């Protein structure tokens, strides 16, 4: 048995002063020689590890040959290095968590229920993702050698001696160091206010840059808006302070459709003006055929399509395709429609059914806000996101290169004042 001081020199880090590095033939692993004996060790990075587990080797494994988890110490003593010496527990856990984190870069959509703030939704998703990333099973704790006093029976006399004992170290334990991941950067796309519901796009990691591309592409969004005739409130919502009550018996489906057609026509004319396109050019014709006409910069709310899905007085349901909108502007739109129908109307519900290339089918429900479901959603949406962004951003870039007209800034290019829609530009 080696003296305690000699054994300490083998197991204590850093390398003793009287040690020197030597090579071992064709082996790339370094070796260490001190006290006249060679000790072949794993790569030098292992000396950053603070703990080693050592145990005697059976005689069948002797002979001085080096393998990756052995130190050959001659015949005086033989010790095995556990795999944790090669890759510490915290490092292995970090690699495992990083692999899951690498699959989180991208865009995905969730369904926001009414009554929930978008900020709380984002925090909830972040908490669930962190919970999933930190839920991985940690590796077995590293072992280190401790020399403990123990009795040794030598005939009739009992003596105390130091024995090398392997004990677990808790320096890298989860309860000591805390969770590996503490925060994720999650971006929110076109936001929804508290009363609204529907598709909300989120970006994780590098996906936050794609959110800016979505803004620059000026993609349209679809809403279903439910209105109620015969009431007027201070905030255009059904639960607001009542301002006026009116009759609505004279309102028909034909009158409503006529008003919606006027709204759509006035906004489509404004869309062409804000796109900086020459209506006499071939480029404008081709973009109109493909439905690729977009404003070159920020503009008031523009409605590209609006129609009535259901008319059951006093309630009616509209489908609105628009861009650069807010949900409050859509509620005010219901109020304006009521005034044009010679009555009043309030908004009962605003629900987003599509945001760019994300639809309700892509939106994850509350029960699906977990690591695995979000990773699957990001992976499924990635090809479509890349294709659609390239398709929508390229025409805009070409138009900027070819167009030399000034940016529209006069009020004459806003939607028709007949429906009092020009007031939306202030939102």
Nearest in space to 223 (alpha carbons), one of 129, 311, 307:
307
- The C-alpha atoms of residue 133 and residue 374 are separated, in whole angstroms, by 12
| pLDDT digit string, tens, across residues 167-191 | 888 887 778 888 888 899 999 999 9
- pLDDT grade for 161, boundaries at 50, 70 and 90: confident
Q: Is 406 a catalytic residue?
A: no
Question: Going by C-beta distance under 8 Å and a sequence separation of 6 or more, which residues neighbour residue 341?
Answer: 229, 248, 251, 255, 256, 259
Which of 70-79, 294-303, 387-396 is the most confident on average?
294-303
Segment among 25-34, 185-194, 247-256 with least mean pLDDT: 25-34
- Window from 35-39, 59-63, 146-150, 211-215 with minimum mean pLDDT: 59-63
User: Is the predicted pLDDT of residue 327 greater than 90, yes or no?
Assistant: yes
Q: Which phi and psi angles does 418 have, rounded to 5°?
A: -60, -35
Contacts of 383 (CB under 8 A, 6+ apart): none
Query: What percentage of residues in the chain have a pLDDT greater than 90?
Result: 46
Greater pLDDT, 163 or 87: 163
β-strand 231-233 against 302-312: which pairing, if any?
unpaired
Q: What is the CA radius of gyration of the chain?
A: 35
Sign of the C-alpha dihedral computed for residues 91, 93, 99 and 100 taken in this order: negative
Query: What's the rounded Cα separation, in Å, for the pair 110 and 125?
Result: 9
pLDDT classification of 156: cutoffs 50, 70, 90: low
CB < 8 Å & 24+ apart, contacts of 243-247: 244/344, 245/344, 246/343, 246/344, 247/343
Which phi and psi angles does 425 have, rounded to 5°? -65, -15
Q: Of 26, 69, 154, 193, which is the active-site residue?
A: 193
At residue 249 the predicted structure's pLDDT band, cuts being 50, 70 and 90, is very high
Average pLDDT over residues 393-421: 48
């Amino acid at each position: 048995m080696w003296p305690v001081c000699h054994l300490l020199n083998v197991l204590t880090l850093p390398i003793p002063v009287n040690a020197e590095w030597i090579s071992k033939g064709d082996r790339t692993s370094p070796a260490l020689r001190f006290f006249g004996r060679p000790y072949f060790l794993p790569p030098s990075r292992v000396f950053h590890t603070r703990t080693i587990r050592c145990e005697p080797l059976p005689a069948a494994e002797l002979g001085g040959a080096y393998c990756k988890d052995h130190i050959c110490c001659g015949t005086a003593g033989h010790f095995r290095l556990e795999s944790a010496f090669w890759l510490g527990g915290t490092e292995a856990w970090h690699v495992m968590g990083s692999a899951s984190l690498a699959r989180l870069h991208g865009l995905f959509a969730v369904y926001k229920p009414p009554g929930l703030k978008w900020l709380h939704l984002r925090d909830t998703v972040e908490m669930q993702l962190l919970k999933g990333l930190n839920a991985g099973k940690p590796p077995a704790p590293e072992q280190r050698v401790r020399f403990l006093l123990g009795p040794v029976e030598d005939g009739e006399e009992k003596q105390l001696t130091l024995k090398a004992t392997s004990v677990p170290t808790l320096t890298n334990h989860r309860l000591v160091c805390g969770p590996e991941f503490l925060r994720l950067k999650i971006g929110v796309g076109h936001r929804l206010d508290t009363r609204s519901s529907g598709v909300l796009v989120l970006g994780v990691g590098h996906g936050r840059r794609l959110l800016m591309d979505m803004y620059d592409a000026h993609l349209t969004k679809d809403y279903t808006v439910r209105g109620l005739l015969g009431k007027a409130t201070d905030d255009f919502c059904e639960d607001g302070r009542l301002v006026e009550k009116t009759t609505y018996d004279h309102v028909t489906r034909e009158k409503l459709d006529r008003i919606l057609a006027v709204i759509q026509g006035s906004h489509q004319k404004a869309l062409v003006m804000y796109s900086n396109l020459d209506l006499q050019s071939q480029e404008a014709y081709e973009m109109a055929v493909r439905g690729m006409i977009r404003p070159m910069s920020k503009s008031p709310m523009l409605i590209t399509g609006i129609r009535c899905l259901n008319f059951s007085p006093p309630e009616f349901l509209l489908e609105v395709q628009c861009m650069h909108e807010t949900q409050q502007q859509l509620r005010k739109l219901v109020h304006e429609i009521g005034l044009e129908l010679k009555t009043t109307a309030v908004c009962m519900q605003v629900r987003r059914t599509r945001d760019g290339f994300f639809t309700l089918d892509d939106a994850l429900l509350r029960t699906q806000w977990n690591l695995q479901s979000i990773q699957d959603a990001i992976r499924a949406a990635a090809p479509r996101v890349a294709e659609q962004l390239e398709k929508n951003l390229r025409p805009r870039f070409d138009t900027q290169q070819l167009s030399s007209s000034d940016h529209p800034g006069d009020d004459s290019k806003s939607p028709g004042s007949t429906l009092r829609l020009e007031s939306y530009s202030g939102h």
